[in-house]
Structure 1
Amino acid sequence: MTDPLPSPAPLDDLAAFREVAAARLASFERVAVPDAPGLRRAGVVLCAVEHEGVPSVILIKRAYRGRNAGQWGLPGGRLEEGETAQAAALRELHEEIGLSAGPADVLGPLDDFPAASGFAITPVVAVLADPGPLLPSPDEVHSVHHVSLRRLAADDTPRWVPQADGGSLLQMRLGPDWAVHAPTGAMLWQFREVVLLGRAARVADFVQPDWTRH
């Protein structure tokens, strides 16, 4: 049964969102990808902030060079030696866009996503009440964007595109000419379902476009 979202406060007020999100993540039983030969790990942040008076999540378009050139993503990156996924995600948040977050800002993780690129990606949800100015690294980030919680929760945001093999490809339609696919789209979709709408959802089997393998 769906856990009704108290309306409208958690989608329109960052403090109210934090309270609801923390409770839902505390009861969420996440699925972790087990270690395996050749598996690499990464951490990313679903970072909620207030943008122009509206609670929003930060997305980036990666620089047009290196891994994932020009793709939509969440701030984050691969783990360094001895680092946890949460520590890596918060470190990369600062390195990529200049925002500082600590453990107290993190509400909890969602499921690991087994990316076709060979990475297991751990998304952590964080809320920054006073994030400070964005300082994107030009070496890693082409541009920074905000998507409102209401846009993520809207009925017409997820779109399922039939594939020749009988499966469906998720597109998170965040704006005109703005569609985000798995892996990032899958993590946004689980965030939407579990954290915003209070519904059970898994994403490990979501179809990933071929161009996300690089």
Structure 2
Amino acid sequence: MTNSAAAERIRGNLAGFTRIAATGGRAAAVVICVVDDPDEPHVLLIRRAYRGMNSGQWAFPGGKIEPGERAVAAGLREVGEEIGLALEESDVLGVLDDFVTDSGFVMTPFIALTSAPVRLEPNPDEVDSVHRVTLERLVGDDLPGWTITPSGARLLNMPLRERMRIHAPTGAILYQFREVALLGRPTRVRDLQQPEFTRE
């Protein structure tokens, strides 16, 4: 896909999507940052710093919504604070379904588009590393993967490359991004379960 094809594909698919909002938890916002690279359009994923909540876990840039703050503003603020990428509300293409985590957060996932090249400045207090995953990889026929737990639960995972297997909640949001924004399939993910380690 060229950069213009990637942008138009996402915009077109989101135009026919009606999101489902959720309430009742601690509000948070994350941003799926799509970098419109003419060679390899990709999304940005982070590995959280190995300290505090969600230590070392895969995530999108994001965090808690402060009192009185709009969700989209919170998501864009967190992108700037965590990876040093300045985005405007005009860069936001749409919003996916809220995902309620086992730890009690209601995560609102925004999709934002920015042009390459991007200069990133990860905050070492919050981010261990930043990773690029191409849109081509995200629509691979081998995705998603499924794991059966000893209790018989079926857990989604996104095995993107060696040592990069992403579970819910981030994996669920990434899967809905793939299905809705990239493939135009109205897929819901709110019932997907999280493995226990993601609750730490």
**Normalising by structure 2, what TM-score?**
0.95
Instruction: Determine the structure 1 residue equivalent to 2:145.
Output: 159
How many residues were matched structurally? 200
Measure how far apart 1:162 and its partner are: 1.9
Q: Give deviations 1:134-186, integer Å, cap 9, x for gaps.
A: 10000000000000001110011311112344331111011012100000000
Give the SS at the match of 1:77.
Answer: strand
1:76 has 2:62 as partner:
yes
Q: Distance in 2 between matches of 1:179 and 1:53?
A: 25
Structure 1, unaligned stretches of length 5 or more?
A: 1-11
Is the contact made by 2:13 and 2:183 (CA closer than 8 Å) also made in structure 1? no
Instruction: Determine the structure 2 residue equivalent to 1:62.
Output: 48
1:195 has 2:197 as partner:
no
Matches within 5 A, 1:29-178: 29-34=18-23, 36=24, 39-50=25-36, 53-130=39-116, 132-178=118-164
Structure 2, unaligned stretches of length 5 or more?
A: none
Instruction: Determine the structure 2 residue equivalent to 1:24.
Output: 13
Give the SS at the match of 1:87.
Answer: helix
Q: Distance in 1 between matches of 2:116 and 2:70?
A: 25
Is the contact made by 1:90 and 1:102 (CA closer than 8 Å) also made in structure 2? yes
Instruction: Check 1:131–1:114 CA distance in 2 against 1; reply closer, same or farther (3 A cut).
Output: farther
The one-letter code sitting in structure 2 at the alignment partner of 1:193 is E
Measure how far apart 1:131 and its partner are: 5.6
Query: RMSD value over aligned CA atoms?
Result: 1.4
Q: Give deviations 1:99-145, integer Å, cap 9, x for gaps.
A: 01111100000000000110000100111014631100000000000
Q: Which runs of 4+ in 1 moved over 4 A?
A: none
